[in-house]
Amino acid sequence: MDRATTLGAIRRLSPYLRPVRGRLIGSAAAVLASMVCGLAIPVVIQQILDGPVAARDTGPLPWLVLAVAALGAGEALMFYLRRRLIAGPSTLVEARMRADLYAHLQRLPISFHDRWQSGQLLSRAMSDLTTVRHFVAFSGIFLVVNSITLVLGMGLMFVLSPVLGVVTLVCALPLVLISSLYESQYAVLTRRAQDQVGDLATTVEESVLGIRVLKAFGRGAHLGKRFAAQARELRATELQKVRRLAVLWAAIIVLPEAGIAAQLLFGTFGIVDGSMSVGTVVAGITVASYLRWPTDSIGWLLAEANKVATAVTRYWEVRDAPVTITDPAAPRPLPASGVGAVLFDGVRFAHPGSDDEVLRGVDLAVRPGETVALVGPTGSGKSTLTGLVPRLADVTGGRVSVDGVDVRELALADLRTVVAMAFEEPVLFSASVRENVALGAPGVSDEQVRVALRIAQAEDFVDRLPWGLDTRIGEEGLSLSGGQRQRLALARAVVGAPKVLVLDDPLSALDVHTEAEVEHALRSVLAGVTAIVVAHRPSTVQLADRVAMLDGGRIVAVGTHSQLLAENPDYRALLSTSDDDRAEVGS
Amino acid sequence: MTTPAAPVAPAAESAPAESWRGVAAEDTEQLDHAAGLKVQARSRALLRSLLRPRMARVWFALALVVLENLSRLSGPLIIAVAIDTGIPAAVKGDPTVLAWCVAGYAFSGIASAVLFAGFTRTSGRIGQDVVLDLRQRIFRHAQGLSLSFHESYTSGRVISRQTSDIDALAELLESGVDDLLASVLSIVGITALLLWLDLPLAAVMLVMAVPLVFVARWFLRRSNQTYRATSGRVAKVIMQFVETMNGMRAVQAFRREPRNESILDALNSGYREANRDALKVVAQFTMGVRMIGNISLAVVLAVGAYRVAGGTLELGVLTAFTLYLRRFYEPLDDIAMFANSYSSATAALEKISGLLEEEPDVREPEHPTALPRQSRGGRSVEFVRTEFRYRADTPVVLPTFDLTVPAGQTVALVGPTGAGKSTIAKLVARFYDPTTGAVLLDGIDLSALSDVDLRRAVVMVTQENFLFSGSVAENIALGKPSATRAEIEAATRAVGGHDFVCALPEGYDTDVRKRGGRLSAGQRQVIAFARAFLADPAVLVLDEATSSLDVPTEQIVQRALESVLADRTALIIAHRLSTVLIADRVLVVDDGRIVEDGAPADLIEDSGRFAALHAAWRDSLV
């Protein structure tokens, strides 16, 4: 990353820095004040050594010592103020950026989330923002303050003795040059390491989540090799960073020391020929020692600036991703008399970045209160089609409408209130059963949650959980069986009494007994709502009033199950073979 | 599912603001003092075992840092000599001492630089090697632990052992240890030097430094508290974040965004407050240290100046003193930084060592028995006086039973949910070991086989079809990493997946995306099947493996099954009668017992459960 992009990236922090700039400036002022105190102390010490000590006159000594003490106390107070002032703003910037990122991610379309590994998103939300906090609290302020201190210190040095000033300057310049050279190399390595950490985290995640498959095939070692290779690559990058650091540190140590040695040389010879006082030399060396930290730190601070620039760039990569599924400028209200008629009108869909259309003109009218089963060969786009109703994705052609209103003209909140979904794979959060069913929808009473659980045949097992509705389930709670999970997901879909229910093959994980129970209960719910149910089994299809068959991106047949069985050979092939094959065994 | 012994009222367990989180058994757990000591000993042992193989390098790094500090400390001393001896001599016309001083100072600068660069590289290498070693240990260990462990420990915790905990340790190794060593050495060195330079003045300085001890103690206690607060709170933020990202479909479809935002807001502010408090503690500490340092500088200066004026102290000694004093207090700030990374690294080590201490319930034998060469037609599977329960304190799932499946036989397991079908299947795949008795493969106890032999011989496909990041081909090749493209395609063709794979943008090289997000559930299952067929095991266990397939695909898979199963042993759990009917033998399982056993045709003719089921489902046909 070159200087311009580094600055450009850091500038993107400004919306978050602006509200806290008062305290930032205050903190920088405190640093400066502490530096001034720190610089002044050696000057007073020089006065003591050259004045009372040299003259063996102890008269003014108490005042000068008191001055040193006062300056020292001032410096310490300023140390405190600097951190105290920055504590609030730096953590606030971090927290706000994280909250905004989270809010943005929740609005980004599912197609975005399918592309991004959650580890990569997490590292942006956590470690990149920690970098930002450190920058705001330390490196950013010191970058400004240390530059000022360097200039001030140099000035003081020239005032003390022009010779000593020149010597210090000559030794400081190469340091800044080396630092900035190193900065650019280091930035590349840092970015590489950050990305490698992300990849490694992904492998770890998969090794744990896919543990059953790995065990079943005994391929733990196979993935282990990939993991080891990635870990070794990361180590190699980190070692490269260490080597660069070692060189930089060497330069940082040797150059100021050379400066002090040169001062010693010129200074002591100055004393010998009478052109300089001992106090001046001591003060010069003290000031030079004092300037070591600001000089040393320039390289490190530039590296930090680079690191934060990388972090900010990574952050904005996500923040800049367009939210493609948004509320319309002027949302239309749903007709009050709405009954939940769903219409697919010439619907076309291609995944973002692909020209291949999955849906090529789907026409289907789902009448209010009707249940339509959607069948079709594997990969025919059934799930994609159902996702279009609550706008998890938007059509690329044609329209989907609910009660005559294009879903894209409705406020998202309205749309998703009338349309509820259940997915093939139930998603549970580590929260109470109540929270998982109501999902935080305002105004859902325990009674409503219970009704929904009853419908989904889940009330009994929930009551048997150790804390009933309050039991924590999901990742960090009790683990439930697949059937139990799916029944909770179904309860979630029916809890808000939606007008339209979209069920994406929610019964596939259920065993036949439970499936029959859930179906039985669903039948009474489905009577009141419009429903689209993705199905691939005859038993599920039998829930529906009509069946629509999706193939080649179009609806190729619509009718009742028995009609289609009788009339459509493709349908027969899809859902029935011989008499025996149509049956299922109670398990 | 386990039921905790004493359920506690939820209100007592969680604050009202967090009531959404619900109650879990671990909330009620507490670590007692003795356990805490054991944990500390365990993590120290881990650290020792990590460092032991690299002790030579550790000593080398220590030597470098000691030398570097010696060289660095010599600086002010040389300046003192220059002022006290060099200048008077030079004034008298002999610049030799002065010249030596300048050369010596320059040399000490160069030496410090070279030594420190060497130390940075050496300690960096140690740190990276330790991290790599630990990463691999955790990975291998987690892979070796049994499924029962993974089911209770949860994936999030294993992942954070490998990520945030390792990071904490890496940070400590990267900068913390260097800083601490350098700080301690420089403090000790300076103290020694000052004592040597001038005893009374050093005594003054040391007395002034006594309050430091109290300040440091206060700080260590407080920083430990703030550290605990931040690490506990950051974990909650991460959890919320990850869950939201992984459940994004449900979040958006159910308008959970506002609720999620208010939850994150609360967690985020909690984390922010903890961070802010931590900063405030550091602010107070650094102020304290600096205050003590500066006041003692003033006092030393006063005492020193009077003594120089009185002629009892050299000016150069006083100069050196003032230079050293500032250096004495500087590293103390670094120690503040160190305290935090030390706390987080210790906590991380405690958790990591806890994971590494877990013993697998199912372990590979040290001296495995070799599996005899396979005769054609699979291998026999035999349960001998087998009994199974998940844990000692849970009820028996499978009461003692015997069962022999001859080589080449296809057995279907039928029965209600929870009857124990999956458990039988998992025992064959050795996901668990039987509580008593044994499971034999060709007469050899599964627990006597090496993992390689076992997994080569027995493969289990479940309805969970996890796909790894990478291409379709890579995912199928998991069944047999050495497979050629032709073999992969043949396996896919056999299960009817070739056409849809070819229709993907890059065919077999198409990236399946996160968790196979590019493919439908049915397609993922087909890939899982292709994987199993490619693995070509002697014993195939299918647990609801066809549940997500549509009928045509299932038919293809089934036809493939019929030919593939001809010369191998198979255990099938399936809903569909069609699948069950291809079996040579049906076992009806109820409440952990095999209640019917026979060829499907025979069972249908009997009047048992299978016949009843069969009749019921025939009647329900459309």
Query: Which residues on A lie below 8 Å from B390 (Cβ)?
Result: none
Phi, psi of B406 (to 5 degrees): -65, 160
In contact, B324 and B201? CB cutoff 8 Å: no
Render A234-276 in DSSP notation, one character per residue. HHHHHHHHHHHHHHHHHHHHHHHHHHHHHHHHHHHHHHHTTSS
Judged by CB atoms closer than 8 Å, whether chains meet at A583 and B283 is answered as no
Q: What is the model's pLDDT at position A540?
A: 78
Q: How far apart are CA B498 and CA A106, in angstroms?
A: 36
Chain B within 8 Å of A318 (Cβ-Cβ)?
no
Residue-level length of chain A: 587
From the CB of residue B481, how many other CB atoms can be counted at a distance below 10 Å? 13
B459 Cβ contact partners less than 8 Å away, ≥ 6 residues apart: A216, A217, B429, B479, B532, B535, B537, B539, B540, B541
Provide the pLDDT confidence category of residue A514 given band limits of 50, 70 and 90: low
Q: Is A87 helix (H, G, I), strand (E, B) or coil?
A: helix
Judged by CB atoms closer than 8 Å, whether chains meet at B124 and A430 is answered as no
Nearest Cα residue in chain A from B532: A217
- Which domains occur in chain B, in start order? 38-357 (1.20.1560.10), 381-463+538-619 (3.40.50.300)
Phi, psi of B77 (to 5 degrees): -65, -45
Report which of B389, B385, B79 is spatially closest to residue A264, judged by C-alpha positions: B79
Q: How far apart are CA A502 and CA A533, in angstroms?
A: 6
Pairing assessment for the beta strands A500-504 and A472-473 based on DSSP bridges: unpaired
Judged by CB atoms closer than 8 Å, whether chains meet at B147 and A114 is answered as no
Q: With helix as H, strand as E and coil as C, how does A457-492 read?
A: CCHHHHHHCCCHHHEEECCCCECCCHHHHHHHHHHH
pLDDT digits (tens, 9 = 90+) for A301-337: 877 888 888 889 989 999 999 998 888 989 998 887 7
Chain A within 8 Å of B316 (Cβ-Cβ)?
no
Judged by CB atoms closer than 8 Å, whether chains meet at A466 and B246 is answered as no
Q: How far apart are CA A55 and CA A68, in angstroms?
A: 19
B591 Cβ contact partners less than 8 Å away, ≥ 6 residues apart: B419, B420
As a dihedral over the C-alpha atoms of residue A474, residue A476, residue A478, residue A483, rounded to 10 degrees, the angle is 20
Q: Which amino acid is at B463?
A: Q
As a dihedral over the C-alpha atoms of residue B252, residue B254, residue B255, residue B257, rounded to 10 degrees, the angle is -60
CA B93 to chain centre: 70
Phi, psi of B92 (to 5 degrees): -80, 0
Instruction: Look over chain A and give the mean of its residue pLDDT values, rounded to a whole number.
Output: 83
Which helix H or strand E contains B543, and what residues bound it? Answer: strand B539-543
Provide the pLDDT confidence category of residue A236 given band limits of 50, 70 and 90: very high
Report which of A325, A455, A452 is spatially closest to residue A387, judged by C-alpha positions: A325
CA distances from B218 to A253, B48, B179, B423, B496 (A): 33, 29, 21, 56, 70
In contact, A544 and A374? CB cutoff 8 Å: no
Q: What ipTM, to 2 d.p.?
A: 0.83
Q: How far apart are CA A397 and CA A389, in angstroms?
A: 14
Phi, psi of B14 (to 5 degrees): -130, 145
Chain A within 8 Å of B156 (Cβ-Cβ)?
yes
| Residue in B114, B318, B617 closest to A585 by CB | B617
Residue-level length of chain B: 622
Judged by CB atoms closer than 8 Å, whether chains meet at A585 and B575 is answered as yes
Q: What is the model's pLDDT at position B385?
A: 92
Judged by CB atoms closer than 8 Å, whether chains meet at A208 and B290 is answered as no
pLDDT digits (tens, 9 = 90+) for A8-20: 888 899 999 999 9
Judged by CB atoms closer than 8 Å, whether chains meet at B261 and A213 is answered as no
Q: How far apart are CA A343 and CA A346, in angstroms?
A: 10
How far A566 CA sits from the closest chain B CA (Å)?
11
For helices B257-310 and B199-208, what crossing angle results, to 10°? 150
In contact, A302 and A291? CB cutoff 8 Å: no
Q: Ranked by mean pLDDT, which of A192-196, A362-366, B203-207, B306-310 comes out on top?
A: A362-366
pTM for the model stands at 0.77
Number of continuous H segments (helices) and E segments (strands) in chain A: 24, 12
Judged by CB atoms closer than 8 Å, whether chains meet at A106 and B260 is answered as yes
Chain B within 8 Å of A413 (Cβ-Cβ)?
yes
How far A416 CA sits from the closest chain B CA (Å)?
6
Provide the pLDDT confidence category of residue A389 given band limits of 50, 70 and 90: very high
| Residue in B159, B308, B514 closest to A117 by CB | B514
Q: What is the model's pLDDT at position A576?
A: 63
Cα torsion A192, A195, A199, A205: sign:
positive
Q: Ranked by mean pLDDT, which of A227-241, A248-262, A284-298 comes out on top?
A: A227-241
Beta bridge partners of A421: A502
Task: Please identify which residue in the block is written with the tokens 């419908």.
Answer: A455
Instruction: Note which residues in 65-84 of chain A have CB less than 8 A from chain B.
Output: 65-66, 68-69, 71-73, 75-77, 79-80, 82-84
Which helix H or strand E contains A106, and what residues bound it? Answer: helix A61-107
Question: What proportion of chain A, given as a percentage, has pLDDT over 90?
Answer: 25
Nearest Cα residue in chain B from A325: B252
pLDDT at A413 > cutoff 90? no
Query: What are the b/e assignments for A80-110, b being 16+ CB within 10 Å?
Result: bbbbbbbbbbbbbbbbbbbbebbeebbbbbb
Which helix H or strand E contains A226, and what residues bound it? Answer: helix A220-272
In contact, B575 and A584? CB cutoff 8 Å: yes
Render A21-38 in DSSP notation, one character per residue. HHHHHHHHHHHHHHHHHH
pLDDT at A348 > cutoff 90? yes
Q: How far apart are CA B264 and CA A99, in angstroms?
A: 7
- Which domains occur in chain A, in start order? 14-109+116-319 (1.20.1560.10), 342-582 (3.40.50.300)
Q: Is B476 helix (H, G, I), strand (E, B) or coil?
A: helix
User: Which residue positions in chain B have pLDDT lower than 70?
Assistant: 1-18, 20, 22-34, 154, 176, 336, 375-376, 417, 464, 547-548, 550, 575, 617-622
Report which of B221, B174, B172, B216 is spatially closest to residue B344, judged by C-alpha positions: B172
Q: Is A210 helix (H, G, I), strand (E, B) or coil?
A: coil
Query: Which residues on A lie below 8 Å from B319 (Cβ)?
Result: 49, 282
Q: How far apart are CA B479 and CA B474, in angstroms?
A: 9
Q: How far apart are CA B365 and CA B356, in angstroms?
A: 19
Q: Is B475 helix (H, G, I), strand (E, B) or coil?
A: helix
> Once rounded to an integer, what is the mean pLDDT over residues A250-266?
82
pLDDT at A41 > cutoff 80? yes
pLDDT at A76 > cutoff 80? yes
pLDDT digits (tens, 9 = 90+) for B352-399: 888 888 888 788 888 888 888 776 678 889 999 999 988 777 788 889
Chain A within 8 Å of B112 (Cβ-Cβ)?
yes
Q: How far apart are CA A215 and CA B146, in angstroms?
A: 9
In contact, B586 and B598? CB cutoff 8 Å: yes
Q: What is the model's pLDDT at position B17?
A: 52
Q: How far apart are CA A151 and CA A96, in angstroms?
A: 35
Residue B21 carries which DSSP code?
Answer: G
Q: What is the model's pLDDT at position B5?
A: 39
Q: Where are the alpha helices (DSSP H) in A342-440?
A: 382-387, 412-418, 433-438
Q: Is B70 helix (H, G, I), strand (E, B) or coil?
A: helix
Q: What is the model's pLDDT at position B617?
A: 66
| Residue in B252, B535, B575 closest to A587 by CB | B575
Chain A within 8 Å of B286 (Cβ-Cβ)?
yes
In contact, B39 and B31? CB cutoff 8 Å: yes
Size of interface A-B (CB pairs under 8 A): 552
As a dihedral over the C-alpha atoms of residue B372, residue B378, residue B380, residue B383, rounded to 10 degrees, the angle is 110
